[in-house]
């Protein structure tokens, strides 16, 4: 590695960069909290929609069963009457068609409930993914702040005997601690020591 030269940045400049990183981190947390709040509102809304649809489905099923029971009784009475008269009741065809339409309504409601439940699952997965991405962002911000603090430490008057080799060693330890790829750490080292 090429020789590391002393930095021209002051402690005040490093403090300013650190405060900016902290502010960016706080802004990101606020945006995340707002996004999670909106997701929770959507999830609660979908849950209410699912419960409402299930209640509606039960009501429709109860109505259908009641109609079928009533129609069956009417059909049996008419069939018996028509048998006695030797005629065929054309209304039986219409009654059958009505029952088929009722079955179609039931299937349509069940399909809508299934779509709402699938949408609810997608919202839950989206929420987990957002939290995971935020965790990665927090780790990256922590690493950047630790690197800036190391630069501060190195240039401080309280530690005049520190050498570039010790500074590089501390950066390597930080990279191992955070389980980051070497290429990422090297990039951060170049950025932090570009004026060395």
Is the whole-model pTM more than 0.75? no
CA 77 to chain CA mean position, Å: 59
14-72, pLDDT tens digit by residue? 778 778 888 888 888 888 888 878 877 777 776 666 666 677 777 777 877 787 777 77
Residue 10's alpha-carbon distances to 141, 181, 190, 194, in angstroms, are 21, 29, 17, 14
What is the structure's pLDDT at 196?
47
In total, the chain counts a number of residues equal to 196
Q: Are 18 and 127 in contact (CB under 8 A)?
A: no
Angle between helix axes 91-155 and 11-85 (nearest 10 degrees) is 170
142-178, pLDDT tens digit by residue? 777 777 666 665 555 544 554 555 555 655 665 555 5
CA–CA gap between residue 127 and residue 100 (Å, rounded): 41
């Amino acid at each position: 590695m090429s020789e590391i030269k002393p930095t021209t940045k002051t402690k005040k400049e490093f403090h300013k960069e650190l405060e900016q990183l902290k502010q960016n981190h706080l802004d990101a947390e606020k945006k995340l909290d707002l996004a999670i709040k909106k997701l929770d509102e959507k999830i609660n809304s979908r849950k209410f929609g699912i419960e409402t649809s299930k209640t509606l489905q039960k009501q429709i099923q109860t109505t259908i069963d009641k109609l079928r029971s009533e129609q069956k009784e009417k059909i049996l009475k008419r069939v018996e009457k028509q048998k006695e008269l030797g005629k065929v009741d054309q209304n039986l065809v219409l009654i059958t068609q009505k029952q088929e339409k009722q079955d179609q309504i039931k299937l349509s409601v069940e399909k809508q409930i299934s779509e709402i439940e699938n949408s609810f699952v997608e919202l839950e997965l989206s929420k987990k993914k957002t939290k995971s991405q935020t965790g990665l962002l927090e780790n990256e911000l922590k690493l950047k702040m630790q690197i800036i603090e190391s630069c501060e430490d190195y240039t401080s008057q309280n530690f005049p005997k520190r050498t570039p080799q010790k500074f590089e060693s501390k950066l390597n330890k930080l990279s191992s601690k955070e389980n980051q790829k070497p290429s990422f750490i090297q990039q951060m080292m170049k950025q932090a020591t570009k004026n060395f």
